[in-house]
Amino acid sequence: VHLTEDQDLLASLNKSVLGKLTKFSESKTPGSMLRFRGGTLNPTERAAIHAFCEANDIVSRSEGPKDNRKLTLSFPKFLRKSEEGIAEVTNTGRIIKSAVDVDDNTKQK
């Protein structure tokens, strides 16, 4: 887990929330989601979690009215292989058999 300058804010989170966040971030399971119900987190806590997610390649999204915002965290569903040979996560949802399939214009007739 990557630590950020928002570590102090994270430390101030409710132990239950911090435990869920830590367990989720360590799982790194593609397609997994963690939802916090509206009213569970205050704006400062949501901001700290958003910063943590950004530093740890977790997608985070807040939605809903100002006083009852929900927060959803997720790991993208699909993996792709990077140039270094390390698996990276992508949201494209497109599976290809070869590089030729990336651009339909390059297919030979």
Specify the pLDDT at position 12: 80
Q: Which residues of 19-46 are buried (b: 16+ CB within 10 A; e: fewer)?
A: ebbeebbeeeeeeeebebeeebbeeebb
- Residues 6 or more apart in contact with residue 98 via CB below 8 angstroms: none
Identify whether 23 is part of a domain. Answer: yes
pTM: 0.65
Q: Which structural domain, as residue segments, surrounds residue 77?
A: 7-95
pLDDT for residue 20: 94
Instruction: Report yes or no on 100 lying in a domain.
Output: no
Task: Answer whether residue 108 is part of any domain.
Answer: no
Please indicate, yes or no, if residue 51 is contained in any of the structural domains.
yes
The pLDDT value given to residue 11: 81
Q: Answer whether residue 107 is part of any domain.
A: no
What total number of domains does the chain contain? 1
What pLDDT does residue 10 have?
A: 79
Residue 109 lies in a domain: no
pLDDT confidence of residue 65: 93
**pLDDT at 19 (0 to 100):** 92
CATH code, domain carrying 56: 3.30.1370.50
Q: What is the mean pLDDT of each run of 10 residues along the chain (109 residues)?
A: 59 89 93 94 92 92 93 83 49 47 46
Domain annotation covers residue 28: yes
